[in-house]
Structure 1
Amino acid sequence: MPHNNPPPSGYHYPLWHGWRLLLKDLALPEAHVLRRAQLPSDLFSRESASLSTAQYFQLWTALEAESDAAGAPEPLPIRIARAMSADWFEPALFAALCSADLNAALARIARYKRLVAPMALQLDISPQGTRLGLSWLDQSQRPPAVLVAFDLVFFVQLARMATRANITPAAVVCPAPQPALAPYEAFFACAVSEGPQPSLTFTPEDAQRPFLTVNHGMWQFFEPTLRKRLHDLDRQSSTAERVRSALLEALPAGDLSMEAVCRKLGVSTRTLQRRLREEGSSFQATLNGVRTQLAHHYLENSALSGAEISFLLGFEDPNSFVRAFQAWTGKTPQAMRKRSSSPAQLWAFAPKQKAPGET
């Protein structure tokens, strides 16, 4: 699994130069899209334009709204997939198409995706298949559903483009059902399941199917620039930000020890503690901050149970999560979710009561 340090706070992502071509292919007026997104009208003509995470999300939300207003017959992510072309010269798309197969393509995108979008990819390649999980570098901001759907559609369409085969994922998971699920299930040719993290799973045969677009020479020419940009970005990141990224990556596996994070970052525990202290932080404070931010996100933006949130945050049991949340915020998870949840959902956050005689 590639390691992804988060971009520094306030990082702006370079504007993809293919936006104008995409809007032309979709027959959507760029002026209307930019106005809906509350972005400068000359954004797409600027030499070195960039977007914050919030602006990036605004642009996708506006793009979907404009597509819907135009009476598009299909959901926007599927429309974009059908229009996908190497002519767009999107870095992630180009890097992937040069690869030998889907496993190599996903590994490259996972390494470099954070240069162009506020996203991290978790890649798990095993004899049973290849699973790609999607997460967001800024957990305080909820990505629009259209963007989540597009990224799932993108990777399937990428595999189909590069192999010229009708690749069907073995499993598709989305945090919440799309308003119109049938078109997506028809596109994927499989059912879409609901789960806490968006993900795709491919069979070993499809993940290793040779790409007809493989071009090792072009990749060797293209990669040094990407590698330098990644190095420059990592140098801007503080130690606390790098620890935060390592913790976000480790949370699902549950190994949140300082020793495990130090192995990921390639430093000793003493060096890590010193650098965090110089930044006015500590390992435990950073871990608590990550858990607090994610807990707020899950409570406010999902219907996950207490047990599910406890697992996602790396706690051994839901009671530990409830106690920790009260220590961080002075409130219970029930109180945080009270306004947006029904009484039937709230019981899941209450500490488990022991039965008479239970120890």
Structure 2
Amino acid sequence: MKLTITKQFQAFIKEQNLSLEHILEQAMIPNLLWKEELVVDEQQYYRLLRVLDECISDEQLLALSEIENINMFMPPIYAALSAKNGMEALERFITFKKLIGPITIEMEEVGNNVQIRFSFLSSNQELPRFSLLNEQLLVVSLLRRGSGKEIRPISISGPFEYGETLTHYLKCVPEKSQGNILIFQQEDLDIPFYTQNNSMWEFMEPELKNRLATFSPSPSFLETIQNELFQSIPSGHFSLSNIAQKVGVSNRTLQRNLQAVNTTFHQQVQQTQMILSLNFLQNQNLTTTEIAYLVGFSEVSSFSRAFKKWTTKNITQYRKEVNKSKGNSPN
């Protein structure tokens, strides 16, 4: 999953006294902010939510949930604001939400009310407090911004405490419950949006639908394991048990799922070590000893033998070829 993180959005995060670099480091997500994007799988995204849950205040949560602050950074929200009313806005938001995060939204009309529930794409993982409250607040802010009215939920609940700051913003008393629900009166969702913009929607709709058609929200189990190995091998914690725990399965389940696609955990470790080695050897500032440790070898001799087996070349030969291809003189 590729998430666009513009320079402007990065600056907004910084204004909230949050360090996006530190958050990514804590979540073990590669820092590609210089490219104005993040590439994450479901598990990495979930870790990101967990880290935010631990470091963010309710005031910061509210700032990140205000449509006025974030709509310019997220096309699906802008598309929702361009709708004719709240009901159409929610339908658009639900349709395109997966483009900005693996959160599932269910909406149901019950009598004169509309009920909304949120869940993580993987049903076995519960939404952290930050994520659930952010989604609920986002919907309230969207309806208020579009209609120009202070729309209040009939009811809002979740398994967490909401706190005084968020309760004051919602203008209703949240309830603590095992699940989560957000309920509005149908008549409030029928209020015309003064932000309606048919020209903008006609411009955006084809691109959003194209993104949706090519979107792959859930990586395969093999891709998930590979992503975890790329993150874990340089840290030295990449045993079968380590990786199984990170993806939330037993050792046996991990092995069985890999066998189903004709591979083994050992083969995946070796393949990842080889790819990491080839990448690290492009960096002339890293010694062979340093690279050996970074790819999970305690001894340089073992690393050298493995590299020769993988590539049929020794490390010195490979580095000479890299220097030649770059037009450098070997050290």
TM-score, normalised to structure 2's length?
Answer: 0.59
Cα distance change of structure 1 residues 232 and 29 upon mapping to structure 2, 3 Å threshold: closer
State the one-letter code of the partner of 1:156.
V
**Closer, same or farther: CA 234–86 of 1 in aligned 2, 3 Å:** closer
- 1:153 and 2:142 are equivalent in the alignment: no
Query: For 1:159-192, what per-residue CA distance to the aligned partner results, in whole angstroms no more than 9, with x for missing partners?
Result: 1112222111111121x122x5333322211121
Question: Can you list the C-alpha shifts for 1:72-97, whole angstroms capped at 9, x where unaligned?
Answer: xx443223234743563302211111
Correspondence for 1:261 = none
> Is the contact made by 1:15 and 1:51 (CA closer than 8 Å) also made in structure 2?
no
Equivalences for 1:1-359 in 2 at 5 Å? 12-17=1-6, 19-40=9-30, 42-68=31-57, 74-82=58-66, 84-85=68-69, 88-125=72-109, 127-174=111-158, 176-178=159-161, 180-233=162-215
* Matched position secondary structure for 1:81: coil
Aligned to 2:195, the other structure's residue is in SS state coil
RMSD, matched Cα = 2.8
CA contact (8 A) 1:99 1:216 kept: yes
- 4+ residue runs over 6 A deviation: 234-238
SS in 2 for 1:202: strand
Q: Deviations over 1:20-70 (max 9, x none)?
A: 143133132333322332333x322225532222222222333343435xx
For 2:21, give the aligned amino acid.
Answer: A
Which 5+ residue runs of structure 1 have no aligned equivalent? Answer: 1-11, 69-73, 239-279, 281-359
In the alignment of these two chains, the number of paired residues is: 220
Q: Which has the higher contact order (CA 8 A, sep 6+)?
A: 1
Equivalent position of 1:312 in the other structure: none
Comparing 193-202 with 205-214, greater Cα deviation is found at 193-202
Structure 2 gap segments, 5+ residues each: 221-259, 261-331
Using a 3 Å threshold, how does the CA distance of structure 1 residues 149 and 230 change in structure 2: closer, same or farther?
A: same
Partner of residue 229, structure 2? none
Call closer, same or farther: CA 1:82–1:223 in 2, change over 3 Å: closer
Give yes or no for contact 2:156–2:174 (8 Å, CA) kept in 1.
Answer: yes
Aligned counterparts of 1:119 and 1:156: Cα–Cα separation in 2: 17
Rounded Cα–Cα distance in structure 1 between residues aligned with 2:12 and 2:147: 23
Return the offset for 1:150.
0.6
Q: Which amino acid aligns with 2:160?
A: P
Query: 1:193: Cα distance to partner?
Result: 2.1
**CA separation of 1:57 and 1:141: change in aligned 2, threshold 3 A:** same
Q: d(CA) in 1 for partners of 2:16 and 2:212? A: 32
**Contact in 2 for aligned 1:100/1:214 (Cα 8 Å):** yes
Deviations 1:3-32 (A, max 9, x none): xxxxxxxxx243443641431331323333
Overall identity of the aligned pairs, in %: 23
Q: Name the CA distance, whole Å, in 1 between partners of 2:154 and 2:179.
A: 16
Counterparts of 2:46 and 2:147, CA distance in 1? 31
CA distance, structure 1, for counterparts of residue 208 and residue 13 of structure 2: 26
What TM-score do you get using the length of structure 1 for normalisation?
0.55
Match of 2:234 in 1: none
Matched AA of 2:203: F
The alpha-carbon distance between structure 1 residues 56 and 97, as it changes in their structure 2 partners (threshold 3 A), is same
AA in 1 matched with 2:18? L
Larger CA Rg, structure 1 vs 2: 2
Following superposition, the deviation at residue 228 of structure 1 comes to 1.9
Distance 1:154 1:56 in 2: 18
